[in-house]
Amino acid sequence: MKPKSQSPFLVNLHELPRRAGEMRPYRLDFKLEEAIGTPMLAIKTGESMLIEFKAESVSDGVLISGHVKSKAKGECGRCLDEIEWDVSEEFRELFLYESRKGEDEEDELFALDGDIADIETAIRDAVVLTMPINPLCKPDCKGLCSECGERWEKLAPDHTHEKIDPRWSGLAGWQPK
């Protein structure tokens, strides 16, 4: 983990007046230092991420809402082919003023630290929660033959593996005299 102050997800809201109704636009554009996703599909380290949002002063804190764009990579859950997934998600989170935050963990996570809002959790949640649990290269991917591991799409329609009935396997090498 990098020191907190270097996280690209930290937003300095210094320029936003703390009067309800005030609003400022922000834009973060950086290369990701730590992957975001699931074992099957993730925005990899080094991938670029664009976050455009507005910060709005409300009575208890700052409401941050916007859009995150990036590209995730992973593999198809059926045929294991590499897949790319366009990430384009909305997010919205209220960051409480320190003076307004309560005791629970959620408040801790989404509270301002002086002028700083850490939007990493909001972004991770927005991205991960919408990712498919079982990503596919295409909706009708036929997957792999369970016997030889070839992709069904490359195999002949009548592709089959001759199976010897286990009850007769003892006779497999038997030749009539």
Does the CA dihedral 100-106-110-113 come out positive or negative?
A: positive
Of 127, 156, 129, 153, nearest in space to 49 by CA: 127
* Binding window for Zn ion (CB under 5 A); candidates: 31-39, 57-65, 80-88, 98-106: 80-88
Of 53, 36, 132, nearest in space to 92 by CA: 53
- Residue 50 touches Zn ion, criterion: CB under 5 A: no
How far is Cα 30 from Cα 11, in angstroms, rounded to an integer?
13
Among residues 42, 76, 96, 126, the one that binds Zn ion under rule CB under 5 A:
76
Query: Phi and psi at residue 20, in whole multiples of 5°?
Result: -50, 135
- The nearest distance, CB 127 to Zn ion, in angstroms, is 22
Among residues 1, 129, 133, 148, the one that binds Zn ion under rule CB under 5 A:
148
Nearer CB in complex with Zn ion: 79/111:
79
Among residues 41, 43, 79, 123, the one that binds Zn ion under rule CB under 5 A:
79
Residues 81-140 that bind Zn ion (CB under 5 A): 81, 137
Question: Are the C-beta atoms of residues 9 and 123 closer than 8 Å to each other?
Answer: yes
How far is Cα 101 from Cα 95, in angstroms, rounded to an integer?
9
Binding footprint of Zn ion, residue count (CB under 5 A): 9
Q: What is the 8-class DSSP label of residue 46?
A: T
Nearer CB in complex with Zn ion: 79/119:
79
- The nearest distance, CB 155 to Zn ion, in angstroms, is 6
Residues near Zn ion, by CB under 5 A: 76, 78-79, 81, 137, 141, 145, 147-148
